[in-house]
Amino acid sequence: MTRFHPESPEIAQDSLSRLRFIADFRKQMHTSLSKGNRAAYEADIAASVDEAASVEERRAAVRAALERHPYFRGWSSMLLASQDLMWRVVGQSVAHDTERMKLRFKALAPQAIGSVTLDGDLSGPDYVVRADVHRMPGGYMGAGGDDDMQAGALYDLGGAIYQLGIGNKAGGLLNDSRGRTVVAHLRARFPNLAPLRILDMGCGVGHNTVPLAAAFPDARVTGIDVGAPLLRYAHLRAEGLGHAVHFIQDNAEHTKFHDASFDLVVSQIMLHETSRAASARIIAESRRLLRPGGVAIHLEVPLRAEDGDDFDHVMWLWEQHYNAEPNISGVMDDDLAGMARSAGFSDVMLGYQAIPSAGSEQSAFTPRKTSKSFGFWLVLSGIA
């Protein structure tokens, strides 16, 4: 038996072997086997695409041709099958350990250093409830009772395997590379900022809220999300890791906090799971919540249309079309820096921050990415 952290579900040895296989398999799919898609495009598709057509028409033609191509169809089917297999194996571990986790959660209150506050009246936004994001069975909101933590436990284990499977080892089983990248960006860009009130919007199970609490031990760290089962589990997880985080069920588009409540507001890979309109509202809300001189960082998937060609654009949209991630196109194509300026931010910066190595709070920033590696996250930052 093993655990990813002190409060994670127990994973039996045979499940761990399966999960390792799935992570390795997915890494092959995303590296060597994915090269076959580019080869298929260059050999069988590129020459037939009308260079004079508009960019949208060209991309639509590439996508339609790829969807008819046997290599892409086989590759996509295998990737989808591995995603569903991952949820099945992870689901078995969660099911075996659910009652123990519920008891652990109930026992937390008297000695907890953080908290969880739920709002039973909050309904999930359309983009969260319309489909099971990442094909995770049951989605983020869950349908269980007052002690339901299933979505949190599934997301915790599945999210770590998913990240390992795109070759991004830096987060490891704690899946915390985003929070550590936010800290590296802050240390490099705002070395004098010592935030005492930090908000993480769309915190999920707190994978990347905990590193903020670790980096700023004097701060009161709050994480909000719409999913109650995620937040219950996030509380259990953060307590197990020994970090004080206050989790609140709230909608990042229009939170319940007063103006200027925070010194630092972040979101991490949330915008690409919302919509174009919601992204603009969330960026504006982060501005409202900051005191003058406070800083916002919105971290996203490292995919900008200007850093790839038509083929890349179509491949980067794979997750949107087949894995229920609704707004990858918004992150790739929208004028995110313009949205931040319209919301009232100054000194806006958009670019790629490298994932720092374990134990480090330093990494390189580059406005344009020259490599296709996933060793970066996209960051949008600005001052209120």
Which residues of the shown chain bind ligand SAM in the complex (CB under 6 A)?
A: 125, 128, 140, 178, 202-204, 207-208, 224-227, 230, 251-253, 268-270, 273-274
Describe the chain by its helix, strand, coil percentages, rounded to 5.
50, 15, 35
> In angstroms, what is the minimal distance from the CB of 69 to ligand SAM?
30
> In angstroms, what is the minimal distance from the CB of 274 to ligand SAM?
5
> In angstroms, what is the minimal distance from the CB of 12 to ligand SAM?
25
Q: Which is nearer to ligand SAM, 93 or 251 (CB)?
A: 251
> In angstroms, what is the minimal distance from the CB of 144 to ligand SAM?
16
Sheet hosting strand 246-249, strand order edge to edge = 115-117, 246-249, 220-225, 197-201, 262-268, 290-300, 376-383, 346-354, 365-366
Sign of the alpha-carbon dihedral angle for 24, 28, 31, 37: negative
> In angstroms, what is the minimal distance from the CB of 228 to ligand SAM?
10
Strands 246-249 and 262-268: unpaired
**What span, in angstroms and rounded, lies between the C-alpha atoms of 187 and 126?**
36
Confirm if 160 and 173 have CB atoms less than 8 A apart: yes
> In angstroms, what is the minimal distance from the CB of 292 to ligand SAM?
24
Confirm if 248 and 254 have CB atoms less than 8 A apart: no
Q: Which is nearer to ligand SAM, 37 or 177 (CB)?
A: 177
Q: Which is nearer to ligand SAM, 39 or 358 (CB)?
A: 358
Query: Long-range contact list for 70-75, CB < 8 A, 24+ apart?
Result: 71/36, 71/37, 71/39, 71/40, 72/37, 72/40, 75/29, 75/33, 75/34, 75/36, 75/37
Residue located via tokens 């298929």: 40
**Most distant CA pair in the chain: distance in Å?**
67
> In angstroms, what is the minimal distance from the CB of 50 to ligand SAM?
37
> In angstroms, what is the minimal distance from the CB of 105 to ligand SAM?
18
> In angstroms, what is the minimal distance from the CB of 251 to ligand SAM?
4
Residue 381, C-beta contacts closer than 8 angstroms, at least 6 positions apart: 185, 189, 295, 296, 297, 298, 348, 349
Q: Which is nearer to ligand SAM, 269 or 295 (CB)?
A: 269
Q: Which is nearer to ligand SAM, 62 or 94 (CB)?
A: 94
Rounded (10°) CA dihedral 92, 96, 99, 100: -120
Residue located via tokens 């010592």: 194
Q: Which is nearer to ligand SAM, 224 or 245 (CB)?
A: 224
**What span, in angstroms and rounded, lies between the C-alpha atoms of 227 and 117?**
12
Q: Which is nearer to ligand SAM, 62 or 205 (CB)?
A: 205
Query: Long-range contact list for 60-63, CB < 8 A, 24+ apart?
Result: 62/310, 62/311, 62/314, 63/314, 63/317
> In angstroms, what is the minimal distance from the CB of 331 to ligand SAM?
12
Q: Which is nearer to ligand SAM, 91 or 204 (CB)?
A: 204
Q: Which is nearer to ligand SAM, 225 or 310 (CB)?
A: 225
Angle, CA 323 vertex, CA 322 and CA 329 arms, to 5°: 80
Task: Say how many residues make up the chain.
Answer: 384
Q: Which is nearer to ligand SAM, 148 or 225 (CB)?
A: 225
